[in-house]
Each structure stands twice: as C-alpha cells, then as structure tokens.
Structure 1
Amino acid sequence: MTGFFLHPNSKEEIIDSYDEDIIVTNQDGFIVKASQISGRHYGIQAGELLGKSVYDLEQRGIFSPAITPLVLQQKKKVVVIQTTTTGQKVLITGMPFFNEVGEVEFVLSYSYEVSELLVIHEYMKELEQEMLLTKEELSLLRKEHLTIEGLTIENRSTRIAFETARNAAPHDVSVVLYGEQGTGKSTLAKVIHNESTRKNGPFIEIDCETIPEAMFERELFGGSFEQTETGLLTLAYGGTLYIKRIDKLSIHLQGKLLKVLKERTYTPIGAEVPLPLDVRLISSSETILTEAVSANEFHKDLYYRLHIVPIHLKPLRDRKGDISTLISSYLSRFSMKYQTVKELSDEVFNQLLHLQWPGNHNELINVMERLVVQSPSTIITAKDLPPEYRKETDEDLSLIHLEGLTLPTILDNVEMKVLRDAQMRYRTTTEIAKYLGISQPSVVRKLKKYTDFE
C-alpha cells in the first residue's frame, strides 16, 4: 500500500482516513492503528478499538471470526465474511506485513459491508453491460455513423440488414431490397454502392412505377429519336443501376431485362451495334418476389438473376428502437433549421413511439417538422399534434382496472409501465435514473424485476 508505513514501535493512533475502514494489529493481536470510520460495523468508536485485543473482542461477540490469527497462521492474504454483534455481514481482507527475519509483525485489515458490495457488484454488471453496448456501437462506427440520412441503425433487424449490405457491397452481385415505401431502401442501395468497387462510378436510379411502360425501354436503353438520347444503362456504365419497385415491371419488360443480363450486352433503340453491359444491379420490391413468381407475375429466370442477396427492411412500426432515435434526431434537426428550441412532453413522445407510421420514414419526417414549426411553446404537448394524430390514451392511471387487484400489484403495474416507457426513450440506465430521480442501481434492480434486462 503506497505511502503507508508501519514501524515496530508505532504508538496507538487514529489513521486520518474517512473513506476506508482500516485496522492494524500487531503480532500479539492488539489493535495499534485504526481509521476514523473503523468500528462503525461494531457499534463502537474507532478510539475505543485502540489497544484492544482482537481475541478479547471476538470472545465478547463483537465480531466473529477475528482475522488476525488467521493471517498469522497462514502468513498470506486472507478474506473472510465476518458477523458483527449487530448482525451485519462484513467482508474482511487481512494482509500480512513481515519484518526483516520473515515473521508477520503486523496485520492490516480493511472491510466492506456485504450489502455495499452487492450494490457495487450490480453497478459493475451494469457498467459491463454498457461497455459491451459501447463496443458494439464502436464496431459499427468504425465503418459508418449509426444514423445515415434516411437510415437509423438501432433496431436489431436494421443492424442485420445493414451488416448484410456491408458484407455484400464488395462483391459485384445483384441485391434485392425488400420493404414498404419509406423504410430506407434507396439509402441502403447508396450505402452498398459507396462501399463497392464501383463507388467512383455513377449511381443511377429508375422507378418502374413512375415511368410509363411505353417509355421504360426508351429510358433504359436510349437510342436515336428526334435527337439521340443516352439510356440509363449507358449512364450507369462502370457504376450501379438501382431499379426501384421492380415488382411493378411488366412481364414483357422483365423479359427484355433478363436478355440483357444474360448476354451482358444491350442495343439502343434504332442502333445496330450492341454495347457492353458494365453495371452492378440493385433492385427493390415492396412485395416478396417469390410470391409474384408463384402467381406467374414475375419471370422465374429473372428472379434467379436478381435474387442473389435479399435484404429485408422492416417497417417503422416494428422498429421501436429506430423510431425513438429518429424522433430525437429530427426534433434536433428541425429545431436547428428553424432556429428554435423544442422539447417533447413524455405524453407526446410515447404517442409518437406507438403510432403505426404507414408512411414510414417520410411520414415521420413530415410530422416532426410540423410539430417544431407549429407548436407555440417550447414544450410540445398532445394539443400540438396534428388532428389526425391525436388520440385518447387508454393507459391513463385513472383507467387501470382495479377490481380484484391488491395495492402492491397495482403499484407494480404502474412502475413497470413507467420503466418500460423510460427504457424506450433513454439509451442508458444512467439517463433513466436521472429522468426518474432514483439511483442507477435501483434502476438496474427494477429493470431486472420487470424486463429481460441483464
């Protein structure tokens, strides 16, 4: 112990420490030094311990067992749980100090109440959990920020989709992105392009739903019309062509696209000489293509050409973790954009979190911008929600079903709901503790009680 010295002729003294419970005994078992807080576990003052024999104190039932004789006997560090006269359990660690001839001359012991150690243990487990989460986040941050424009990576399913995309990106294979409109498919397609060997080439998009069928072939292949037009396959040369909503492409045009992919060449309309195809194809679909194949609505051979790496993006209603982060992100973004400071009330936050969001990302952006612009006060309340998003909550405490429930059960139900709501809104137990006005160890214990938190 650096800076701590023992001398053979040391007088009995109180060590100037209010933080550590330290006691020093000589080889005869008499206490020669004690810190300011020593004796608190035994219900006596530190000064009263000086000069006392640990053998005598043990015989009087002040504590049991005495650690000094154990250290003297074993001549090494000893750890025991000691029971005091007040019934407390104390963890005692004894350390031997040897003289020049190798005999134990002094025994230094320090102690912690077991209940304190349990709190420390829980805190360390919580710290370990947060460090594990931090390591996972850092692993992703080495590759990309967690929030990309249009794609937030908090939910487990989103992480899986993102990692699948990252793994597929370096390989020049076709990828199909599945998901409802607004779930981030276009953004993920750009991530794949930017992580591929074609990142310095163009990224070209074409939407099968917005381009009339009669114009689609002309857009894709180009050709000589009133004036020569360059097709998207030519524009995308050396880069990536992203075909959106390929499930909307007609069977006729599917056949033409399949021919191009098979032959790796295409001929612009009106031209005679075919051009080489050098594009990486990424497509998206709002319906599962296997179902379209079964219904004879999608060409089976084209499906096999495209469906090398399928990636599924779930709708926001199934990604509560992503919604929570997106709400905070857009609140901050639009507050900065309109040079204001806005906060969401807990009621509004929880309502937004549990909405179905059929329009997914685009709908959420719209609602958050409206709230920031239209709310007259700093705190955005339920009255500020657009009319179509206002709803009466059936989770008000006044509507809890009381019949047949005991008061402890009712209180547990309320506490469980509050904790789960807080867990949705805040990322760490430290933030939850600050929000609820309780200690972090209390938050950890309660989360273990009501959730699968580990």
Structure 2
Amino acid sequence: MTGFFLHPNSKEEIIDSYDEDIIVTNHAGIIVKASQISGRYYGIRAEDLLGKCVYDLEKRGIFSPAITPLVLLQKKKVVVIQATPSGRKALITGVPFFNESGEVEFVLSYSYEVAELLVIQEYMKELENEMSLAKEELSLLRKENLTIDGLTMENRTTRIAYETARNAAALDVSVIFYGEQGTGKTTMAKFIHNESKRKNGPFIEIDCETMPEAMFERELFGGEFEQRVTGLLTLAHEGTLYLKGIDKLSVHLQGKVANVLKERRFTPINATTFSPLDVRLISSAENALTESIAVKKFHQDLYYMLHIVPIHLKPLRERKEDLSALISIYLSQFSIAHTTTKKLSDDVFNQLLLLDWHGNHSELKNVIERLVVQSTSPIITAKDLPPEYRKKTDDDLSIIHLEGRTLPSILDDVEMKVLRDAQERYRTTTEIAKFLGISQPSVVRKLKKYTDIE
C-alpha cells in the first residue's frame, strides 16, 4: 500500500489502494482518508465519504455500528460485525493512532465482507483437512516401514527392539536375541538377514535344542564320511547362520563354536585343509546368559563374541498393545482362510487380553483358529472358549465383593474394571471414549481418578 500519510492537511487525499477497504477518521469522527474501494458495502463512492461524520452516517443507518466511537472510548483495537444498507455484513477492525498527549488522534479501520471471510475459512478448513490426510498418509508410510511380516509393533519396547535390529542389520556384527519361545526371535533374525548386505546369500538355521549333540559337529562342519557331507557353515558361506537356542548347546560344543569364530576358519571332519569362515552369526536364547556363565554352564569367550548387539523381545503378556492388535489380525486371517466372518464379543476379547500366553504367538494363533473353526455363530462368545482358557480373574465382575459395601463403592469398582478393560483394548482416550459412549475429557478424568486412588 502506497500514498498513505497521516497528515491533518491532507484530508482530501484518497489512499492509493485498490485491494483493501481502509478508512481513516480523526478524533471528531470526520473521515479524512479512504481507499478507492471504500464505500462499496454502503453504496457510496469513496470520494463522497471524505469529510463525512461517522456519527451522522451511523444515525442514517449506513454505519451500523460505527467503529470510531468504540475505538475512541476503549482506546484499543476493536473488532465488530457491521450491517450495511444492502443487507450484507462486514467485519470491521478499528485501530487507534495516538498523539503526543496519549489521546486518540486518528482511527484507522479496515473491513472485509463476512462472505469473503467464510470463503477464506472454508479454504483454510479444506487446507487443514488436506494436511490431516497428509499426516495420516505419512503415519501409514512410517508404519509400513516399521512392519515385519509376523510381528506387530504397537508396543514401545517392540519398536525399540525393531529399531535396534534395523540399525544392526547394516553392520556385519553378531546379534543375539533374548526372549521366551514364540516371541518372534526367528522372524527378527530373518529380518536382519534380509536387510543386510548378505541378503542375497543363504539364511541357515540350526536349532541347538532339537539337534542331537552327536550330530551337531557333523552337521555344522561337514566332512569326509562314507560319503562327503557339506556342513552348514559351508552352506551359509557369504550368508547368515542363525543358532537358535544357543543356551541349550553343551559347553563342550560351545567351545568349538567359539574357536571357529575366533579363528574365522574351520576344518571339516576328516579333512586336512581349512575352510574360511564368511558368515554373519545371529543367535538366540530364552534366558540371560550371564547367569549361565556364573555357574559355568556357558562358555565365557563365546558369550563375548555373541553379545555384540543384544536385543530383548518381551512376551505378549507384557505387550498388551501388540497382543490386542494380533488378536484382531489373526481373527481376520483365519476368517479369510476358512471362508467365514467371525467377530469376538467384548468379554472374550478382554478375557484373551488377560491370559498369560506362555506360548506367545504360536499359542495365540492356535486359540484364535480354534475359535474361528469351532464357533457356530458369527459372534464368538465365552462359551466358545476352550475349557482351559475359561478362567476367572480377580478383575472379573462376577466376584466383586458386595457384603458390607455401599452402592457407590460397588459402582466405582465396576467403572474402574470397565475402564481398565477398555484401556487394555484401545490405545487412546479418544478410542476409549467412543467405545464407552462418553466424552474424551470424561475418560481422562475417570482414569486419573482411579490412578490417584491407587
């Protein structure tokens, strides 16, 4: 904007602006300046506004209300919606200009038609929706990048384990996974192999628990017997060797593995020449090896060779977010596999969340498939649960103690139980609120209430 000067001797000047509706009045309410589009809302030319008194214009219903008297009274910026003779509405903003004595000398006002603002508001809303969609798409892309076939990563500890595995994949170092049977150690080992520079090489797995000790050396090293046997170390050349259940291996064989890793070469049985060792070693154990070392049940040198990048995978009972997601995933998978559509009732879903799942993924998949196959109705209810899984817990509503208690106290227990069940199943307070049919602030308040009680 150009040509705008607040000088008393220039009251006949029109502000050189074709884009903004600007009017300047003095402390007496006389219009001293106006931009070229001023007056369009009132059916008056800008030139005809100059010299007019806003008080007179207000009485005539042209300015309704006038902004200048309000600014003079309040001595600060004022915003009002003004009705115009044409029936249109305009948003008027008045700004005071003070003289050296601190009094309002001029009032600058600028206006926008409300309809124009609504268009801008609608545009901003559309822009906000597009940004929201973009954020959701970005979140989905990130989640896709944080997905391994066979694992879900809703739980924070699972994501940390995954990030550690992903970072270690690029490094040709030993990795060891700790966790109960069925927590996804093999799946994670394969993920590291597929993300490593050895991904085009073989992935060879040895189950140290099930392989007989007498056959272990023969299978691992190979050699010259009645016929030539190619060992797994040779087969894994330029690839990955996964020693599953390394803690089940005898100390004697642990020592042989340690020597091979130390020398980076091995000799097939009955052979006279060395073969180079070019494999990436990944191993797993159900329990921490430090305790086994203390009682001399694990080779100390081998421990240090394996324990470069340790990764701990928690059981499903400690990863409720993952468990909740997996229940839904397996239910969908088996429904599709058996050409049916099954859903879990809320009480069954909550019951499954409360179980210990010592078999982890394997046990969960087995139970969900049994439920899908054996239930006779689309909704799987408590009667469909296998007998060994129909156990009551301390949180069961049916065993809430009633004797000697008031109704408000009993209702508090019921509400707390329902909220905790919902908290196990849903990740956010917004989802919990939708599920329970109450507001999100109510969920937050109630959760805080029962947290404070404890």
Structure 2 counterpart SS, 1:424: helix
Structure 1 counterpart SS, 2:214: helix
Rate the CA distance shift 1:420–1:70 in 2: closer, same or farther, 3 A.
farther
Aligned CA-pair RMSD? 3.9
AA of the residue aligned to 1:103: V
Rate the CA distance shift 1:255–1:371 in 2: closer, same or farther, 3 A.
same
Match of 1:143 in 2: 145
Match of 2:344 in 1: 344
Find the aligned partners of 1:354 and 1:31 in 2 and give their Cα distance.
75
AA of the residue aligned to 1:157: T
Q: Give runs of aligned pairs for residues 329-368 of structure 1, distance below 5 A.
A: 329-368=329-368
Q: How many Å apart are 1:196 and its aligned residue?
A: 1.2
Find the aligned partners of 2:20 and 2:422 in 1 and give their Cα distance.
44
Find the aligned partners of 1:142 and 1:443 in 2 and give their Cα distance.
30
Q: How many Å apart are 1:151 and its aligned residue?
A: 1.9
Matched, 1:435 2:420: no
Q: Give runs of aligned pairs for residues 39-54 of structure 1, distance below 5 A.
A: none
* Alignment check: 8 A CA contact 2:182 2:359 kept: yes
Match of 2:47 in 1: none
Find the aligned partners of 1:386 and 1:143 in 2 and give their Cα distance.
37
Q: How many Å apart are 1:228 and its aligned residue?
A: 1.1
Matched, 1:96 2:93: yes
Q: Give runs of aligned pairs for residues 367-382 of structure 1, distance below 5 A.
A: 367-382=367-382
Q: Report how many aligned residue pairs link the two structures.
A: 373
Find the aligned partners of 2:169 and 2:218 in 1 and give their Cα distance.
29
AA of the residue aligned to 1:153: M
Structure 2 counterpart SS, 1:357: coil
Match of 2:314 in 1: 314
Match of 1:118 in 2: none
Match of 2:75 in 1: 73
Q: How many Å apart are 1:32 and its aligned residue?
A: 10
Find the aligned partners of 1:449 and 1:360 in 2 and give their Cα distance.
33
Q: How many Å apart are 1:442 and its aligned residue?
A: 4.0
Structure 1 counterpart SS, 2:283: strand
Find the aligned partners of 1:28 and 1:206 in 2 and give their Cα distance.
97
Match of 1:273 in 2: 273
TM superposition score normalised by structure 1? 0.72
Rate the CA distance shift 1:303–1:27 in 2: closer, same or farther, 3 A.
farther
Q: How many Å apart are 1:144 and its aligned residue?
A: 3.3
* Alignment check: 8 A CA contact 2:206 2:244 kept: yes
Match of 1:215 in 2: 215
Structure 2 counterpart SS, 1:152: coil
Q: Give runs of aligned pairs for residues 237-276 of structure 1, distance below 5 A.
A: 237-276=237-276
* Alignment check: 8 A CA contact 1:71 1:77 kept: no
Matched, 1:386 2:386: yes
Match of 2:101 in 1: none
Structure 2 counterpart SS, 1:421: helix
Rate the CA distance shift 1:316–1:398 in 2: closer, same or farther, 3 A.
closer
* Alignment check: 8 A CA contact 1:382 1:390 kept: yes
Rate the CA distance shift 1:107–1:179 in 2: closer, same or farther, 3 A.
same
Find the aligned partners of 2:348 and 2:92 in 1 and give their Cα distance.
58
* Alignment check: 8 A CA contact 1:165 1:188 kept: yes
Which ranges of structure 1 fall in alignment gaps of 5 or more residues? 12-25, 34-49, 55-66, 79-93, 111-126
Q: Give runs of aligned pairs for residues 137-176 of structure 1, distance below 5 A.
A: 140-141=142-143, 143-145=145-147, 148-176=148-176
Aligned residues with identical type, % of pairs:
64
AA of the residue aligned to 1:221: F
Q: How many Å apart are 1:447 and its aligned residue?
A: 4.2
* Alignment check: 8 A CA contact 1:10 1:32 kept: no
* Alignment check: 8 A CA contact 1:72 1:96 kept: no
Rate the CA distance shift 1:396–1:268 in 2: closer, same or farther, 3 A.
closer
Rate the CA distance shift 1:357–1:166 in 2: closer, same or farther, 3 A.
same
Rate the CA distance shift 1:102–1:447 in 2: closer, same or farther, 3 A.
farther
Which ranges of structure 2 fall in alignment gaps of 5 or more residues? 1-18, 22-36, 44-53, 81-90, 97-104, 115-128
Rate the CA distance shift 1:264–1:318 in 2: closer, same or farther, 3 A.
same
* Alignment check: 8 A CA contact 1:27 1:106 kept: no
Rate the CA distance shift 1:96–1:305 in 2: closer, same or farther, 3 A.
same
Rate the CA distance shift 1:137–1:410 in 2: closer, same or farther, 3 A.
farther
Q: How many Å apart are 1:355 and its aligned residue?
A: 0.4
Listed one character per residue, the Cα deviations across residues 172-215 of structure 1 (whole Å, up to 9, x for unaligned) are 11111111111110011111111111111111000111111110
Rate the CA distance shift 1:302–1:106 in 2: closer, same or farther, 3 A.
closer
Matched, 1:326 2:331: no
Q: How many Å apart are 1:400 and its aligned residue?
A: 2.6
Rate the CA distance shift 1:239–1:451 in 2: closer, same or farther, 3 A.
farther
